[in-house]
Structure 1
Amino acid sequence: MTPADLADLLRATAAKVLVEHGSDPSVLPDEVKVERPRNPEHGDYATNVAMQVGKKAGFNPRDFANWLAEALSATEGIDVAEVAGPGFLNIRLAKSAQGVIITKILDAGENFGTAATLTGTKINLEFVSANPTGPIHLGGTRWAAVGDALGRILVSQGADVTREYYFNDNGAQIDRYAKSLVAAALGQPTPEDGYAGAYIGEIAANVVKANPGVLELAEAQRHEIFRRDGVELMFAHIKQTLHDFGTDFDVYFNESSLFASGAVDKALETLKSSGNLYEKDGAWWIASTEYGDDKDRVVIKSDGTSAYIGGDIAYFQNKRSRGFDLCIYMLGADHHGYIGRLKAAAAAFGDDPNSVEVLIGQMVNLVKDGAAVKMSKRAGTVITLDDLVEAIGVDASRYSLVRSSVNSSIDIDIDLWTKQDSVNPVYYVQYAHARTCAIMKNAADLGFDSATPDLGLMVSDREGELIRTLGEYPRVVAAAAELREPHRIVRYLEDLAGVYHPFQSDKEMRVLPLGDEPVSPLNAARLELVKATRQVLANGLGLLGVSAPERM
């Protein structure tokens, strides 16, 4: 019986008890909360549902808890249900019910942990979207890992997810980039507001190689060639780097297309006609404070050019016109103001502001020998995705970036993440998976036959703890999807590895028989538990885009 099964049983039993005592079951929450107690002596699971609804139903919560405990104790799969304190309910499952968790995992296989809660929801997930003026820095790398993991998690819950990269190929930064390339090609110093780094010289040389004689052209023509080819070369590098990192996109959307197609002008005219765009001091402003923003925003500058928000407004409209129910934006630490302005822009168009979600990621630092690494080999002062992968590898990079909430800054210690021992969190989890594979291979070599194992034979506390930890996985994935928090899966996998390693190391929990001993029914049952553990570890690592090695 998984926690979800128990929650459903609790709700059904509570509804029945309420009716029997003359109360309306509508006072029950849609989902009954079930938790694992910190102290295992209190039981396998606990719930406060009696305290939640007792008074609403007209009963003393403890009385209601006692009625509920009596009904549950008589239910198949429940060993005992006891009341604690003012109305908490502690529940211990029957051993046979725990074995059901293993069966569910093995029957579902790769699909264990999936659900249909988001079926029918079409989500646009935009992340990374770094300017094509240089390699992806650590902040963008964090989104490459977290965004890709979040996309996988949302898909696992039934959502139709389009992963999108917004290609910022319009605006002043592109001109500064082109000027930097021209300066490098001519052997001149980097412009004061330009881009530096070895990559600028490399790209400039490639542009010259592809366009012989470009340096003899008129300044405007030369600038356009360096801008066009330089952006194309940089973005090709970005796409290849992301692909090698395990992050691919369904759509690459060009910002410039919004201006070329007239979409920006059309969107702004719509706002003008509705009165949500007004003129002041020679500029046009969106009345975003009317929709919850902290201040109105300039959309068309006094010189007639569009501010960044102009493209953002048209881009949101474009996404909604493509049929997306939810638009998730994953932005950097300096983009807090975008939360209010994007939601306000949606409301100004008469749209639901909740169709916009903005996630803000905090800073990432690379640390070596206790000090921050500040210099990149190719990008000058900016540490890049390539630098991180070169230092600790793809798996450790992705895992370390997803491991913490995006609301917190993180330091990635190169010394820690390259260790080949249990101090390294990703090694600790991957090694757990490799250990399960080793046992399964050895069992196969011994000719194990566990077609009809008696899972009820596993009655020890250590076996029960591992089984219950496995049963938590679907709920962890559901919470990660609902809260947009992939780090919940990382922490769960570490908890699972922390339960599995002692299980396998415990001589009393032997899975394989010693020497010439025959395979016992308990050996066969424990092998199924190992198989289930391997499956859940593989499923969780898969959602993170991290490999599940069979040998280490």
Structure 2
Amino acid sequence: MNSSPDPTAALLDAVTLTARRLAGDDEVSPALHPSPRPEMGDYSTNAAMMLAKPLGRAPREIAAELAIAIEAELGPVLEKTEIAGPGFINLFLGDAWYREATSLMAATGAAGVPPVEDPERIIVEFVSANPTGPLTAASGRHAAYGDSLSRLLKATGNRITTEYYVNDGGTQVQNFAASIAARMNGEEPPKDGYKGTYVNELAERAKAEGHDPADLEKLALTGVAWMVEGIRGSLGNFGVGMDDFFSERSLYEDNLVDRGIERMREAGHVFDEDGAVWLRTTDFGDDKDRVLIRSSGEVTYFGADVAYHVDKIERGNDRLVDVLGADHHGYVARMAAAMEALEGGKAEFEAQIMQLIHLVEGGQRTKMSKRAGDIVTLDEL
């Protein structure tokens, strides 16, 4: 077996070499594919059928000759060969092949994945569920996909950072804090608050630690910190390790929003109209221009997210991968336009859309809601 980090390369090399010897042609390049069923071996090649016309011989006749040559070339790593159909050669691998393949992968640290020619620095953001409650079962799919994608990208030689975006700067967090405060006072959460039993537990913890229910700002910070602590633990239990948790609040505290908008303004892509600040995303294929800062001075969700992606770029990433829910499908074009406005395509943006999951109870589809307290947590799974 050769020293390639891809153990199947030795099989293809042997098939190609024997085919070229028989044909007397160094340009012959037969295919090698995994067999569709175990009884058909591990791999199959069409080499004999490729040589039938140039050699003027029947494919099965050529296959018989090639099979003997392939067995001699590969030796004990091949258990046997069989000729099938019009002239396919099925290869049955022996235990020696698996032992050598396992040793090779252990030595190289590559699970049969060839490295990319030009490794990139890639940041993969996934899960990023609001920190107003524990991770739900819906986040499990995002976690599994994002983690698997990150591992594959890393296995091919790229430098990977995994990141969770903590939405701790919006009204939902304010409602979350108000819900904790209400429970601390023995009251029902507000109309737009959160009613889960976990809120009661947070309220008890807050009282035990001496927090003031009137200090909603501190309750918000503390409640989010407790939730992020739990989220990190849930992901760890699920086998997913997140490199970083990025706080939305830091976008404002570190002036990243203003900096990102100014960067695009200097490039000529930002304009002011009706008291609001706009990004001219139509210049880059979007169906309409987008508001970054409303006339009230409030930064839009899109404006904050653009600033977040500016920060990703400034950290030196070549590719930004976002794993998003199906409800973000219409969001992709505008963010891609913003990235083009920012970098002119120098930093690639890629969105992976995950479909929603539905739980069934009593034969009926149910909908999870953190606000209503009707959830199935990832830990429960």
Task: Tell me which interval the TM-score lies in, with the shorter structure as reference length.
Answer: 0.7 to 0.9
Q: CA deviation at 1:209?
A: 2.9
Q: 1:228 aligns with which of 196, 221, 236?
A: 221
After superposition, what is the alpha-carbon deviation per residue over 1:391-410, rounded to whole angstroms, capped at 9, x for unaligned? xxxxxxxxxxxxxxxxxxxx
Q: CA deviation at 1:149?
A: 2.9
Partner of 2:263 in structure 1?
270
After superposition, what is the alpha-carbon deviation per residue over 1:493-527, rounded to whole angstroms, capped at 9, x for unaligned? xxxxxxxxxxxxxxxxxxxxxxxxxxxxxxxxxxx
Is 1:190 matched with 2:183?
no
Is 1:92 matched with 2:85?
no
Letter in 1 for 2:210: N
In the alignment, the residues of structure 2 paired with residue 378 and residue 341 of structure 1 have an alpha-carbon distance, to the nearest angstrom, of 29
In the alignment, the residues of structure 1 paired with residue 280 and residue 23 of structure 2 have an alpha-carbon distance, to the nearest angstrom, of 51
Shift of the 297–322 alpha-carbon distance from structure 1 to 2, 3 Å rule, reads same
Shift of the 274–48 alpha-carbon distance from structure 1 to 2, 3 Å rule, reads farther
Partner of 2:160 in structure 1?
161
Partner of 2:9 in structure 1?
4
Show the 5 A alignment for 1:418-433: none
Number of residue-to-residue matches in the alignment: 362
Shift of the 247–379 alpha-carbon distance from structure 1 to 2, 3 Å rule, reads farther
Letter in 2 for 1:149: S
Is 1:362 matched with 2:349?
no
In the alignment, the residues of structure 1 paired with residue 175 and residue 267 of structure 2 have an alpha-carbon distance, to the nearest angstrom, of 36
Shift of the 379–354 alpha-carbon distance from structure 1 to 2, 3 Å rule, reads same
In the alignment, the residues of structure 2 paired with residue 379 and residue 183 of structure 1 have an alpha-carbon distance, to the nearest angstrom, of 15
In the alignment, the residues of structure 1 paired with residue 333 and residue 373 of structure 2 have an alpha-carbon distance, to the nearest angstrom, of 34
Q: CA deviation at 1:193?
A: 1.9
Q: CA deviation at 1:367?
A: 4.3
In the alignment, the residues of structure 1 paired with residue 286 and residue 268 of structure 2 have an alpha-carbon distance, to the nearest angstrom, of 17
Contact 1:65–1:83 (Cα < 8 Å) also in 2: no
Q: CA deviation at 1:353?
A: 7.0
Show the 5 A alignment for 1:393-408: none
Letter in 2 for 1:162: T
Contact 1:281–1:302 (Cα < 8 Å) also in 2: yes
After superposition, what is the alpha-carbon deviation per residue over 1:89-120, rounded to whole angstroms, capped at 9, x for unaligned? 62233x6x644422323424654624351483
Shift of the 292–209 alpha-carbon distance from structure 1 to 2, 3 Å rule, reads same
In the alignment, the residues of structure 2 paired with residue 256 and residue 106 of structure 1 have an alpha-carbon distance, to the nearest angstrom, of 47
Q: CA deviation at 1:16?
A: 7.5
Is 1:128 matched with 2:121?
no
In the alignment, the residues of structure 2 paired with residue 5 and residue 179 of structure 1 have an alpha-carbon distance, to the nearest angstrom, of 64
Q: 1:257 aligns with which of 240, 243, 250?
A: 250
Partner of 1:524 in structure 2?
none
Q: Which has the higher strand share?
A: 2
After superposition, what is the alpha-carbon deviation per residue over 1:355-404, rounded to whole angstroms, capped at 9, x for unaligned? 2221111222344675556679997212221332xxxxxxxxxxxxxxxx
Q: CA deviation at 1:18?
A: 8.6
Q: Which runs of 5+ in 2 are unaligned?
A: 2-6
SS at match of 1:203: helix
Shift of the 361–377 alpha-carbon distance from structure 1 to 2, 3 Å rule, reads closer
TM-score (norm 2): 0.79
TM-score (norm 1): 0.57
In the alignment, the residues of structure 2 paired with residue 204 and residue 141 of structure 1 have an alpha-carbon distance, to the nearest angstrom, of 27
Partner of 1:105 in structure 2?
101
Letter in 1 for 2:181: V
SS at match of 1:334: helix
Q: Which has the higher helix share?
A: 1
In the alignment, the residues of structure 2 paired with residue 43 and residue 14 of structure 1 have an alpha-carbon distance, to the nearest angstrom, of 20
In the alignment, the residues of structure 1 paired with residue 132 and residue 44 of structure 2 have an alpha-carbon distance, to the nearest angstrom, of 54
Q: CA deviation at 1:84?
A: 6.6
Letter in 2 for 1:316: H
SS at match of 2:33: coil
In the alignment, the residues of structure 2 paired with residue 19 and residue 346 of structure 1 have an alpha-carbon distance, to the nearest angstrom, of 53
SS at match of 1:161: strand
In the alignment, the residues of structure 2 paired with residue 342 and residue 378 of structure 1 have an alpha-carbon distance, to the nearest angstrom, of 28
Q: Which runs of 5+ in 1 are unaligned?
A: 55-60, 389-552
In the alignment, the residues of structure 1 paired with residue 203 and residue 223 of structure 2 have an alpha-carbon distance, to the nearest angstrom, of 7
After superposition, what is the alpha-carbon deviation per residue over 1:286-321, rounded to whole angstroms, capped at 9, x for unaligned? 222332334432222222221112222222222222
SS at match of 1:349: helix
Q: CA deviation at 1:126?
A: 1.3
Shift of the 371–7 alpha-carbon distance from structure 1 to 2, 3 Å rule, reads farther
SS at match of 1:134: coil
Q: CA deviation at 1:180?
A: 2.0
After superposition, what is the alpha-carbon deviation per residue over 1:206-259, rounded to whole angstroms, capped at 9, x for unaligned? 2233235x24x5xxxx22122222222222222222223332211111121122
Q: CA deviation at 1:265?
A: 0.8
Q: 1:325 aligns with which of 294, 314, 318?
A: 318
SS at match of 2:307: helix
Contact 1:376–1:387 (Cα < 8 Å) also in 2: no
